[in-house]
C-alpha cells in the first residue's frame, strides 16, 4: 500500500485489528478444541510430511501424511474405544454375578469384625457392615463406574452426524495447517507485539510441551495402564481388560496414578479370597508400574516440557473441566504459556536470566544476553583482551 497513515489512523487500525481478532476468536469458539487438536496433530506429523515432501509434491505429501496419521492414530484408537464400550456393558453384569457368588474369606470376616468394632465406638453412628452390605456396595460401585465411563465415551464421541461433520472440518484444518505451517508461523510472529524472538520462545515451549505430553506422557501412561490391566488379568479377574487399560492409562496421564485403582482392587481381591492374586496386583504396581515412569520419562519427555507436578496436576484437571477430554493436552500447553509469560516478564523487568534447556558442560558458560532485555539496565561484562605471550 502506498497510503500514508497518520498516527491517529495507525492507532485506530491497531484497535480495529484487535477487535477483529477478538471477534474471530469468539466467532470460532465452538471449534476451538477442534482447531487446537488439529494444530497439535499437524505439529506432531510435520516431520513425516517433510519426509514425504522430499519425494512428492505438496498435495501428495499432505494426502500421504493424512493417510498415515489415520492408520497410526485414528484406526487403533477407534477399535480400542469400541472394544472398551462392549466390555463396559459386559463388565457391569459380570461383576455383579461374581460378587453375588463369592463369599468373603476368613480374612474378610476378620476385617468386617474390626470395621464393625471401630464403627460401634463412633458416637451417633449406628450401622453394621455385613458381607451382604459389602456385596451391594461393590455392585453399585461397579454399575455406577461402568455407566459413567460409558457416558463419558459417548460424550467424547458425540452424535454420529456431529462426529462426521467434526471429522470433515478436522481434516480440512489439519491439511491446511500442515501445508501452510510456515505462513502461520510468520503471521503469528508479525502479529505478536512482543516480537518474533519472543514468538519463537513461546512456540518452542508449546511445541516441547505438546511433544512431551503426547509423545512422552501418553506413551508412559499407556505402558503403565496396560501393565496394570495385565496384572489384574493375570491375577484372575478376566473381565474388562480394555476398559481397565483405558481407565488406568487416563489416571496415569492426569497424573493421579493408576495405584488409586489397582491397590484397592488388589486389597479387595485379598479380602474376597484371592490372596495370591491380590498380593500380586499390589506388589506388581509398587515394583513395576511405578518404575516405568522413572525409566521412560528422562528418555521421552524434554527438559523444557517438565512442569512441576502440582502445576501439571492442576493444569490437567482445569483443562478437563474447561475443554473436556482434550483438556489433558490443552491444559498443560496453556500452563506452559502462563509459565513462559512469567519467565519473560522476569527477564525483561527484573533481569532474571531465562533457564537454559541445554545440559551444562565442563567449561563455565558466558551469560546469554537476550535482545528483549531493556537497554541501559543491564550491560554485559567487557571481555578482556588475551595477554601477549
In a domain, 74, yes or no: yes
* Of the candidates 189, 90, 95, the residue with the CA atom closest to the CA atom of residue 136: 95
Please state whether the predicted TM-score (pTM) of the whole model is above 0.75: no
CA-to-CA separations, 346 to 189, 306, 342, 373, 380, in angstroms, rounded:
21, 20, 6, 10, 18
E runs forming strands in the chain: none
Q: What CA–CA distance (Å, rounded) separates 354 from 346?
A: 8
* Of the candidates 290, 148, 321, the residue with the CA atom closest to the CA atom of residue 223: 290
Neighbours of 201 (CB within 10 A): 19
Q: Which pLDDT value is given to residue 378?
A: 45
Q: What CA–CA distance (Å, rounded) separates 135 from 96?
A: 8
For residues 149 and 247, the answer to whether their CB atoms sit within 8 Å is: yes
Residue 195 backbone class (left: φ over 0; alpha: ψ -120 to 50; beta: rest): left
What is the Cβ-side half-sphere exposure of residue 29, based on CA atoms within 13 angstroms?
5
Domain ranges, residue 120: 28-179
Q: Could you read off the pLDDT of 297-341 as tens digits, one per residue?
A: 777 776 666 677 778 778 888 888 888 777 877 888 888 888 888
C-alpha cell at 131: 458381607
Q: Which pLDDT value is given to residue 141?
A: 66
Neighbours of 167 (CB within 10 A): 12
In a domain, 267, yes or no: no
**Three-state secondary-structure class, residue 363:** coil
Q: What CA–CA distance (Å, rounded) separates 101 from 327?
A: 41
In a domain, 11, yes or no: no
C-alpha cell at 252: 496415569
- What's the angle, vertex CA 338, arms to CA 225 and CA 180, rounded to 5? 80
Q: Which pLDDT value is given to residue 359?
A: 45
Taking the chain, what is the end-to-end CA distance rounded to the nearest angstrom? 60
Work out how many domains the chain is built from and give that number.
1
E runs forming strands in 220-355: none
Q: Which pLDDT value is given to residue 115?
A: 67
Q: What CA–CA distance (Å, rounded) separates 345 from 332?
A: 20
Which ranges of the chain have pLDDT less than 50? 106-107, 358-389
Q: Which pLDDT value is given to residue 85?
A: 67
In a domain, 32, yes or no: yes
Residue 305 backbone class (left: φ over 0; alpha: ψ -120 to 50; beta: rest): alpha
Element containing residue 298 per DSSP (H, E): helix 290-300
In a domain, 75, yes or no: yes
In a domain, 161, yes or no: yes
By CB atoms closer than 10 A (0-12, 13-18, 19+), residue 84 is buried
Q: DSSP H helical segments within the chain, as ranges?
A: 7-27, 32-44, 46-53, 58-69, 75-100, 106-121, 131-157, 160-179, 181-191, 196-210, 218-234, 241-253, 259-271, 275-284, 290-300, 309-323, 327-349
**Residue reference for cell 473381565:** 239
* Of the candidates 330, 370, 241, the residue with the CA atom closest to the CA atom of residue 40: 330
For residues 242 and 84, the answer to whether their CB atoms sit within 8 Å is: yes
C-alpha cell at 28: 470460532
* Of the candidates 96, 231, 99, 91, the residue with the CA atom closest to the CA atom of residue 148: 91
In a domain, 50, yes or no: yes
**Residue reference for cell 477487535:** 19
Q: Which pLDDT value is given to residue 23?
A: 93
Q: Could you read off the pLDDT of 341-362 as tens digits, one per residue?
A: 888 888 777 777 766 554 444 4
In a domain, 104, yes or no: yes
How far, in whole angstroms, is CA 34 from its chain's centroid? Answer: 16
Dihedral (Cα; 64, 68, 70, 74), 10-degree rounding: -170
| Integer Rg of the chain from CA | 27
In terms of residues, how long is the chain? 389
Amino acid at each position: 500500500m502506498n497510503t500514508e497513515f497518520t498516527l491517529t489512523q495507525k492507532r485506530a487500525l491497531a484497535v480495529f485489528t484487535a477487535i477483529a481478532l477478538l471477534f474471530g476468536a469468539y466467532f470460532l469458539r465452538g471449534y476451538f478444541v477442534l482447531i487446537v487438536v488439529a494444530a497439535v496433530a499437524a505439529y506432531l506429523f510435520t516431520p513425516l510430511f517433510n519426509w514425504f515432501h522430499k519425494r512428492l509434491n505438496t498435495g501428495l505429501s499432505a494426502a500421504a501424511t493424512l493417510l498415515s496419521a489415520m492408520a497410526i492414530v485414528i484406526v487403533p484408537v477407534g477399535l480400542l474405544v469400541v472394544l472398551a464400550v462392549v466390555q463396559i456393558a459386559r463388565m457391569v453384569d459380570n461383576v455383579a454375578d461374581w460378587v453375588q457368588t463369592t463369599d468373603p474369606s476368613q480374612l474378610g470376616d476378620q476385617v468386617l469384625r474390626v470395621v464393625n468394632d471401630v464403627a460401634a465406638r463412633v458416637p451417633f453412628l449406628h450401622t453394621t457392615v455385613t458381607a451382604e452390605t459389602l456385596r451391594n456396595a461393590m455392585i453399585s460401585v461397579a454399575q455406577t463406574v461402568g455407566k459413567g465411563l460409558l457416558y463419558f465415551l459417548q460424550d467424547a464421541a458425540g452424535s454420529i452426524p456431529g462426529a462426521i461433520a467434526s471429522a470433515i472440518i478436522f481434516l480440512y484444518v489439519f491439511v491446511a495447517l500442515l501445508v501452510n505451517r510456515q505462513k502461520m508461523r510468520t503471521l503469528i510472529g508479525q502479529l505478536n507485539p512482543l516480537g518474533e524472538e519472543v514468538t519463537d520462545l513461546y512456540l518452542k515451549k508449546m511445541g516441547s510441551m505438546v511433544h512431551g505430553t503426547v509423545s512422552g506422557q501418553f506413551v508412559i501412561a499407556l505402558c503403565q495402564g496396560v501393565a496394570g490391566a495385565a496384572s489384574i488379568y493375570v491375577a484372575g479377574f478376566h473381565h474388562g481388560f480394555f476398559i481397565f487399560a483405558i481407565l488406568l492409562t487416563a489416571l496415569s496421564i492426569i497424573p493421579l496414578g493408576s495405584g488409586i485403582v489397582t491397590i484397592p482392587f488388589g486389597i479387595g481381591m485379598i479380602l474376597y479370597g484371592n490372596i495370591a492374586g491380590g498380593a500380586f496386583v499390589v506388589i506388581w504396581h509398587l515394583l513395576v508400574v511405578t518404575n516405568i515412569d522413572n525409566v521412560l520419562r528422562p528418555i521421552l519427555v524434554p527438559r523444557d516440557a517438565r512442569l512441576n507436578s502440582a502445576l501439571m496436576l492442576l493444569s490437567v484437571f482445569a483443562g478437563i473441566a474447561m475443554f473436556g477430554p482434550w483438556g489433558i493436552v490443552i491444559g498443560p500447553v496453556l500452563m506452559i504459556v502462563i509459565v513462559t509469560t512469567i519467565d519473560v516478564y522476569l527477564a525483561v523487568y527484573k533481569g532474571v536470566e531465562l533457564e537454559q534447556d541445554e545440559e551444562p558442560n565442563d567449561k563455565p558458560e558466558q551469560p546469554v544476553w537476550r535482545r528483549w532485555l531493556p537497554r541501559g539496565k543491564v550491560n554485559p561484562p567487557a571481555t578482556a583482551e588475551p595477554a601477549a605471550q
